Amino acid sequence: MASQPHPRLTPEEYLEIERKAEWKSEFYNGRMFAMAGGSARHSLITGNAMTALNLALEDQPSTVGANDLRVNMSQEGLYTYPDATVVCGDIKLADSKMDTLLNPTVIVEVLSPSTEACDRGFKFEQYMKIEALQEYVLVAQSKPRVEIFRRQPDGDWMLRTVEGLEGSCRLESVNCSIPMSRIYAKVNFGEEPEGTPPGP
């Protein structure tokens, strides 16, 4: 006898399960997806980026969120955990639990070999639905390279790429610049992050 398909969850059911779980899961279209753990390099770069953002914004009305803060576009959209977020001005949260952010101004994702395609494709498509979002930042692990996608007045997105440790990343939406040397402080590029496919 064929097994019955699992019923799709509502966002409310997902949140109830997620808030009791020992590990983080994303949610979309009625399904939960367990999030894989990150490498040591991923953790280092994420921590560096958050520290740099906090230092750059300490005198501004902006708030930096860590990767345990859930983000949601709409009740029907993706629920996920970006590596870092910045909110300019007042924070809008989904409910009284205060653990789901609705209005990030900046979203930062540190790319991993297993997640890069999703971060560039599906997730970016979902993030673009957030009216408050002004900049989407993708940070490479294998070399000092940061891509900043900036929303234009007509709704299009413009890309600026920064490479090398001498440059800096300018985030116009929150009026700050972050040195590449801070994002990649103590990163050893001689060791490939876990999960990197072998070269040709």
Rounded to 5°, the CA angle 157-52-46 comes to 75
Q: Determine how many CB atoms are found less than 10 A away from the CB of residue 17.
A: 13
For residue range 12-59, list pLDDT tens digits in order. Answer: 999 999 999 999 999 999 999 999 777 899 999 999 999 999 999 999
Asked if the model's pLDDT at residue 2 lies above 70, the reply is no
Is 88 part of a structural domain of the chain? yes
Is 142 part of a structural domain of the chain? yes
Domain that holds residue 96: 38-183
Is 148 part of a structural domain of the chain? yes
Report the chain's terminal Cα–Cα distance, integer Å: 47
Is 33 part of a structural domain of the chain? no
Nearest Cα residue to 31 out of 80, 95, 65: 80
Tokens standing for residue 50: 């958050």
Asked if the model's pLDDT at residue 110 lies above 90, the reply is yes
Is 23 part of a structural domain of the chain? no
C-beta separation of 171 from 62 below 8 A: no
Is 188 part of a structural domain of the chain? no
Is 68 part of a structural domain of the chain? yes
Count how many domains the chain has: 1
User: Of 53-62, 67-76, 96-105, 161-170, where does mean pLDDT reach its minimum?
Assistant: 67-76
Q: What number is the average pLDDT over the span 87-112?
A: 95
Is 13 part of a structural domain of the chain? no
DSSP 107-161: EEEE--TTTHHHHHTHHHHHHTT-TT--EEEEE-SSSSEEEEEEE-TTS-EEEEE
CATH number at residue 168: 3.90.1570.10
